[in-house]
Each structure stands twice: as C-alpha cells, then as structure tokens.
Structure 1
Amino acid sequence: MSMIAPGTPAPDFVLDADDGTRFRLSEHRGRPVVLVFYPQDDTEGCTVEMLEFSALAAEFAAEGAVVVGISPDPVASHCAFRDKFALAIPLLADPDLVTIKAFGVWGEKQLYGRVYEGLIRTSVLVNAEGQVRAVTRATRIKGHAAKMLAAVRALP
C-alpha cells in the first residue's frame, strides 16, 4: 500500500484519545489538522518528536490548527507517555492499524540490516476542507514539528 497523496480526500476515522474522548477527523472540518504518525510511546525518537510538537502547540493553535499524535500503542500507554513528559497534544490509539493503514504509513522498514513491517514516521496535513495538503516523512526528527508548522502557515 502506498502513502496517501496530497490532493486526495483524507479518510475519516474515529480513534480513542488519551483524555478519554473519541477523536473523529470529520468533526474538525473548518480547521487544518496535523496528523503525526509515530511508531511507539516513550522511545527516544518519538519522545523528541512529541516534545517538539508540544513546545509548538500554542503556535499551531494560534494558526487555528489541531495537532494529534497517532501510534499503534493503546490508550493506557499514551496516558503514561503523556504524563511522564507533560505532552501538550492529544495522543490517539490505533492498535488495530486501521487509520495507520488507511493513510498508507504502515510498511516495510529497515534498521541495522533487519527488514520488518512497521509504522513509517510521517505527518499528514489535512486542510480545512478535508483534503490532504502535505505528506511529510520525518527523516530528521529534530525540526520536524517546525516544518509542519511552516506547512500550516503556508496554507491558503
């Protein structure tokens, strides 16, 4: 399966959030939404990434944007991760990989010569009309949140 392409409608989804609510993408029409797909709670790279998005949460909000993190981890893991690092963005649980696969961010990865299936660290910017405007692989974790904030600010 290939990653979702810019210009296509974002698939609607409903996922459980770390605050006990359910997040439905279509309920956020009228605002840009940044979907931050990350592999695993409380790992080095994911912690750096979520801390950077949290540090910029007020700036995203000032632009009218909603930012959520999505991983295959369960809600309980998200709650522990959020509390440990005082994260400021909602974390959504997709243990069945339904949303992750719908956006095409599950696939073959390689680490130290080992090939395996996993989540490909990617952020997707959905505009206020529900169209995918940007799909950005986080090849460099540091600075990825700032790159996504710039993409939000560049929206017409």
Structure 2
Amino acid sequence: MRIILLSIILVGLMNANRRAAAQDDSSTVTPVVSKIEGIDFSRADSSAAIRKLINEIPQMDPKFYSDKIASFRETFENYFDYKKGVCNGTFATLIVDEKEGVKQNKSLDKLSKEEKSLCVKDLKELHISFINNMFTWRKKYLDYIHEQRLEELKMIKQNTINEIQKSYEKR
C-alpha cells in the first residue's frame, strides 16, 4: 500500500472550485502563482531548490540586473508569502491510497508551536539570505555601472584633450 502525502493550498482548492463554477458562468479566474523558476512551491523539496536559487544570485551577471530585478523580487516575494501560509497552517493534507483513493482530509491549521517556530525560523533565514544576496548582486551591478561611467569619462577626457590640441595646432 503506497500512501502519498500531498499538501494543497486551501486557496488553490477554492480557486479550483471557483474555476468549476466559472465554467458555468463563463467567467475567468486567475490562478494562484505557486511556481518560481519551475519550482512547485507545494513540494517538500521546494525550500532546498529556493535556497539554491538564492545562493546563485550573487554569481549572476550584473549586466542583467536592471532587466531581471522586478520579476525576480516579485517571484521570490510570492514564494515568501506562500511559505508564510505554510507556517500559518493554511493547508489541507490529503492522504491518498492507490486502491482506496482519498483516505483522510486533515486541516493543518493547528501546527504545534515547535513546528511553527521551525517553519518561521526557516522562512526568516531564507528571507535574510535573499536580501543579503540581492544586496551583493546590486552592489556588483552598481560597480559595473560605475566602471562603465568611468570608461565614458576617460573617453570624454581624451576627446576633449584631442580637441584642445587640434585647436592649438591650427594657430
């Protein structure tokens, strides 16, 4: 007997119900964002995958900072909001048996204090790590921009000196 433990966001279930009702009404419902960079937030290993992505941020090319920062920040904030929901127990747990189907539907609204504390601690560490790594990436971006501007300034200086020399050679 294989038992699979699935965690499902109650909001996701409500959206599924709304979509089913909307099909009758022919109205559209936008789905809840629950993925970032192909990572399904509801999977147990999502924290490890998110942690890996966060740790890769400082190595990212600073040239792409201005193009990616808004979407990057938004998607990570969506993950942090999702993780807050996990810590607050806004999930239902379904135990699925291949033969019998759904065996149990248990609300997780009442996490133990220790579980909630560990969850919040993990969320806090992830969020702080994200902010620190985003700072490092932004600093690299600012250094990159600074180097570009210094190169432009050197070129302007050299062009100005060349113009001055040409103007004195004509005399």
- TM-score normalized with structure 2 length: 0.23
Which has more strand, going by share of residues?
1
Q: Which has the higher contact order (CA 8 A, sep 6+)?
A: 1
- TM-score normalized with structure 1 length: 0.25
Bigger radius of gyration, 1 or 2?
2
Which has more helix, going by share of residues?
2
